[in-house]
Structure 1
Amino acid sequence: MKKGIKVVTIGGGSSYTPEFVEGLIKRYDELPVSELWLVDIEAGREKLNIVGNLAKRMVDRAGLPMEIHLTMDRREALSGADFVTTQMRVGQLKARIQDERLPIKYGMIGQETNGAGGLFKGMRTIPVLLQISEEMKELCPDAWLINFTNPAGLVTEAMLRYGPHQKVVGVCNLPINMRMTLARLLDVELERLHIDFAGLNHMVYGLDVKVDGESVLDEVLNIMCDPDRQVSMQNIAPLPWEPEFIRSLGVVPCPYHRYFYKMSDILEKQLEEFKMGTTRAEVVQQLENELFDLYKDESLAVKPPQLEERGGAYYSDAACNLISSVYNDRGDIQTLNVRNDGTISSLPRESAVEVNCVVTKAGPKPITVGELPVSVSGLVQQIKSFERVAAEASVTGSYEKALLAMTINPLVTSDVKAKQLLDEMLEVHKEYLPQFSERLTHN
């Protein structure tokens, strides 16, 4: 009889891995993980060894019988897995820098999960994740794949539409961050606060906010009108909202909505940073270097607090919560990226949405939302159209579909520049876009 739980993390050399390991250690009594396999590619070998050794020290310090395996052999790791998490960056931070710098060069917002940058991160990532989906169908068909590789909404959309392995859930730290921030601003304990989330990844809204079951939405909207009390994240400028806009919107926007509702302000700030040579990707690269210097310290046996300066803090906690709730059939509510299945009535049933779900042993069960408010449904529809076309381009390598996806994204502001930007980004990233090789060869 199998003992314990086998968890596989693909992209195990990520700087986020120590947080994931900490989450497993904290939950060991309820989630007895016996094997954690950290998988990476040859280019990530050094980081995998650094992070893996820190993980081993953390487990040793906790005195737990959890084996840490480091490997480049993905198939060996996947065999018999119970849960698989994915946290990869195809092309590493060098590719992210291009995802951010090239759109700004053309006068558009550069961001790794939105606009042209998000499209290219998705097109590099989706073919790899679909390979993993095929391997899981063969080697661990009962395992859940928990993805927190960005752009999580687009990636989950592609895996649900095209992947043979359908036990897929996308997780994001954004809803957790929003809950934590609003609990602090309302001065209430986190467990008393509930947010009715609905929308798409990085395009999710709080339709209502409740404390002890009573709506405090009006109070929250007033808080969001206060320039000194903003809900934002490490990687997004906390630009204040116009009070008239927020009250008219009638729901709580997420920090990423600033890219769409405050596009000119964000772009102006990015253009200034671009001239100084400091995009967010370059800031992250410096943070990563500092983190890995810390991780090398053989006396370090805990997650360092500096990790929370990364924009993705609490990603891993979200994954650990999900794994534990599935394993223990907990029936609690978490905000996840899942198949719509009629949850949001205005979006396709087979598409990915980000909504509150009841998490059971059979997986997350989305809570019905119905129609989105008219104030937000149009933008959500537009982004879903982008994700569907972008997923198709990622799978087929269709230049025409890639151009269409780029042009219908609201952050790409000119069809002529869209084609020029697409051509340049295809050339820059061609090493990681084998599905477009025929087009690139002919050019």
Structure 2
Amino acid sequence: MREKSAICIAGGGSTFTPGIVLMLVENQDRFPISKITLYDNNAERQDKLAEACAIMLKEKAPEIEFNWTTDPETAFTGIDFVMAHIRVGLYAMREMDEKIPLKYGVVGQETCGPGGMAYGMRSIGPVIEILDYMEKYSPNAWMLNYSNPAAIVAEATRRLRPGHRIINICDMPVGLETNMCSIIKDETGRELTRKDMEIRYYGLNHFGWWTQVQDKEGNDLMPILKKHISEMGYANNSPEFQHRDPSWVETYTKAKDVYALDPETIPNTYLKYYLYPDFVVEHSDPNYTRANEVMDGREKTVFGQAKAIVENGTSKGNEFAAGVHASFIVDLACALKFNTHERMLLIVPNEGAIENFDPTAMVEIPCLVGSNGPEPLKIGEIPTFQRGLMTEQVCVEKLVVEAWIEHSYQKMWQAITLSKTVPSGKVAKQILDDLIEANKDFWPELK
């Protein structure tokens, strides 16, 4: 019988939390749970979701001990895993991240460009704080961090807490691989899951390329995917795609133009923000951005479901949904707990995995995961086009972390200026000054 794990979900007030709790419950056959604790510094927000999750757990898995708290010692004592997905400043600050750059004709996005840097400056301190709480109260636990922007947070933890038991992850490639399975079904009628595929991928977080997609028998699936993506991007006929928000439909469709720049590989959709920033700005509404879509969509839906569950005293008829990222987190926890050596895409120090790239860069590449953590697989040398783009972007990420550590206005200005999404130092300074004002309650004071 498999040993049970105690879990702390840091960011208990997130709209993703109910889906993670549900996924943990549904996967107890492979990952048994003894206790789930939600932790958040926003008690009011967390209470609304936690009360609904308590009802759901009582119905589905009453044997699991469940509680929620704002006290770090209570939350982080006696646990095996911290699953962290915090959003510092909530969606009000995401809205600023998106709308301030757009005011100056620059991409406004939560993880890319100046908005991503602003979010990173807010996230570094709280993520380090959670890691320190975990190591103080449960030093043998693992922290599975999927707090955005993952690239900047990963660089910060590498610099500030080297060698600690934290793994930085992102579900975006996982979601796209699931989408690839839908494309293959559209084109061939063949049904696959992403676990039926073996992939090769390299890059930075939200900044990468697939170089191999094949099935377990070694059949090359790249020609099918390339043909579809060259014509339609990642758009497909699956119900999941048809119900996406308009901003995501546009992002998935634009992948055909990103693909055209290097038809030897298959791109991550986020590359559109760097390679076609003029298109993104032209197709953005500076008064209604992705943050507004989420606040009017998922925020209202999930909190509405939670309210209905609490009022009705049952989760029946108001079931939460478990997302792709929740499944990925369970896979990773299983690999660490039970030494499965599963192959997964993770954000890890390069250390020579990509031979012709900065060894200190935090890269997103396939790893084998066992009880000692991730073992990165060798990628070899990468082409000049990708290496050039990645070098610029990794320097942006490093400058942001240095700006946070040193409280340096100069380095933050340099970071924004260096971003491929920003046209000049003048515009970068205008954006930075506005971001400083908007983030005065969250950023360290820059001098």
TM-score, normalising length from structure 2?
A: 0.89
Q: Could you say which residue in structure 2 is the equivalent of 1:38? A: 38
Greater shift after overlay, 121-130 or 229-238? Answer: 229-238
Query: 1:200/1:244 Cα in 2 relative to 1: closer, same or farther (>3 Å)?
Result: closer
> What corresponds to 1:316 in structure 2?
326
Shift of 1:346: 2.8
For 1:7-18, what aligned pairs fall within 5 Å after superposition? Answer: 7-18=7-18
Q: Which residue of 2 aligns with 1:290?
A: 301
| CA distance, structure 1, for counterparts of residue 375 and residue 292 of structure 2 | 39
CA contact (8 A) 1:141 1:165 kept: no
Aligned pairs for 1:139-150 within 5 A: 139-150=137-148
The Cα of 1:375 is off from its aligned counterpart by 3.0
Among candidates 197, 209, 233, match of residue 205 of structure 1: 209
1:100 is paired with a residue whose SS is helix
The aligned counterpart of 2:181 is 183
Q: C-alpha distance in 2, partners of 1:94/1:197?
A: 34
Distance change in 2, residues 1:305/1:401 (3 Å)? farther
1:354–1:79 CA distance, 2 compared to 1 (3 A): same
**Could you say if the C-alpha distance between residues 330 and 121 of structure 1 is closer, same or farther in structure 2, counting changes exceeding 3 Å?**
same
Give a deviation string over 1:189-242, Cα, whole Å, max 9, x none: 113322212111100211111123222323321111112753887553233455
The residue number in structure 1 matching 2:353 is 343
In the aligned structure 1, how far is the partner of 2:369 from the partner of 2:425? 42
Aligned to 1:259: 273
RMSD of aligned residue pairs (Cα, Å): 2.2
AA at the equivalent of 2:135: K
CA distance in 1 between counterparts of 2:91 and 2:207 reads 24
User: Could you tell me how far 1:131 is from its partner in structure 2?
Assistant: 2.0
Moved more, 134-143 or 248-257: 134-143
Separation in 1, partners of 2:301, 2:389:
38
Name the CA distance, whole Å, in 2 between partners of 1:414 and 1:304.
50
Report if the CA contact (8 A) 2:258-2:275 is conserved: no
How far is the alpha carbon of 1:347 from its aligned partner? 3.0
1:307 Cα offset (Å): 5.7
Name the CA distance, whole Å, in 1 between partners of 2:348 and 2:203. Answer: 11
1:17-54 residue CA offsets vs partner (Å, 9 max, x unmatched): 1111111111212222211110111xx22221121122
Amino acid at match of 2:170: C
Shift of 1:402: 0.8
Partner of 1:4: 4
Shift of 1:243: 6.9
Shift of 1:268: 0.3
> What is the identity percentage for the equivalent residue pairs of Structure 1 and Structure 2?
27
CA contact (8 A) 2:258 2:272 kept: no
Q: Which amino acid aligns with 1:436?
A: E
Confirm whether residue 223 of structure 1 aligns to residue 228 of structure 2: yes
d(CA) in 2 for partners of 1:404 and 1:112? 19
The answer to whether the Cα contact below 8 Å between 2:254 and 2:272 also exists between their aligned partners in 1 is no
User: Does the 8 A contact of 1:145 with 1:169 survive in 2?
Assistant: yes
* Closer/same/farther in 2, CA of residues 366 and 96 from structure 1, 3 Å limit: same
Quote the Cα distance in structure 1 between the aligned partners of 2:230 and 2:125. 42
**Is 1:214 paired with 2:238?**
no
Deviation at 1:80, TM superposition (A): 2.9
Structure 1 residues 75 and 346, CA gap change in structure 2 (3 angstroms) = farther
Say if 1:177 and 1:304 are closer, same or farther in 2 by CA, change over 3 A.
farther
Change (3 A) 1:223 1:306: farther
Q: 1:253 to 1:304 in 2, by over 3 A?
A: farther
2:379 aligned to 360, 369, 393, which one?
369
Distance of 1:420 and 1:339 partners within structure 2: 33
SS in 2 for 1:31: coil
Distance (whole Å) between structure 2 residues aligned to residue 179 and residue 87 of structure 1 = 22
| 1:57-206 superposed matches below 5 A | 57-163=55-161, 166-187=164-185, 188-190=191-193, 191-206=195-210
Instruction: Report the 3-state secondary structure (helix = DSSP H, G, I; strand = E; otherwise coil) of the residue aligned with 2:399.
Output: helix
For residue 56 of structure 1, what is the amino acid of its counterpart?
A
Bigger mean CA deviation after superposition, 32-41 or 74-83: 74-83
C-alpha separation in 2, matches of 1:219 and 1:247:
18
Distance 1:223 1:257, change over 3 A: same
AA paired with 1:220? L
Q: Which amino acid aligns with 2:225?
A: V
Greater mean alpha carbon deviation, residues 56-65 or residues 404-413? 56-65
Is there any run of 5+ residues in structure 2 with no aligned partner, and where?
Answer: 186-190
Query: Given that residues 233 and 255 in structure 2 are in contact (C-alpha distance below 8 angstroms), is that contact kept between their aligned partners in structure 1?
Result: no
Does the 8 Å contact 1:30/1:328 carry over to 2? no
Runs of 4+ in 1 over 4 A off after TM superposition: 231-235, 241-245, 302-308
Question: Hey, what does 1:396 align to over in structure 2?
Answer: 406
Q: Distance in 1 between matches of 2:407 and 2:316?
A: 43
Number of residue pairs the alignment of both structures matches = 425
Letter in 2 for 1:13: G
Tell me if structure 2 keeps the 8 A contact 1:134–1:163. no
Aligned residue for 2:78, secondary structure, equals coil
Q: Is the 8 A contact 2:342 2:368 kept in 1?
A: yes
Q: CA deviation at 1:245?
A: 5.5
Q: Which one-letter code corresponds to 2:315 in the other structure? A: A
CA distance in 2, matches of 1:197, 1:245: 15
1:327 pairs with one of 329, 332, 337:
337
Query: Are residues 53 and 355 of structure 1, via their aligned partners in 2, closer, same or farther at CA, if it must alter by over 3 Å?
Result: same
Distance 1:248 1:114, change over 3 A: closer
Higher alpha-carbon deviation: 237-246 or 258-267: 237-246
Q: Secondary structure at the match of 1:296?
A: helix
Change (3 A) 1:328 1:64: farther
Alpha-carbon offset, residue 144 of structure 1: 1.0
Residue 397 of structure 1 deviates from its aligned partner by 1.5
Residues of 2 paired with 1:302 and 1:154: CA distance? Answer: 40
What is the one-letter code of the residue matched to 1:295? A
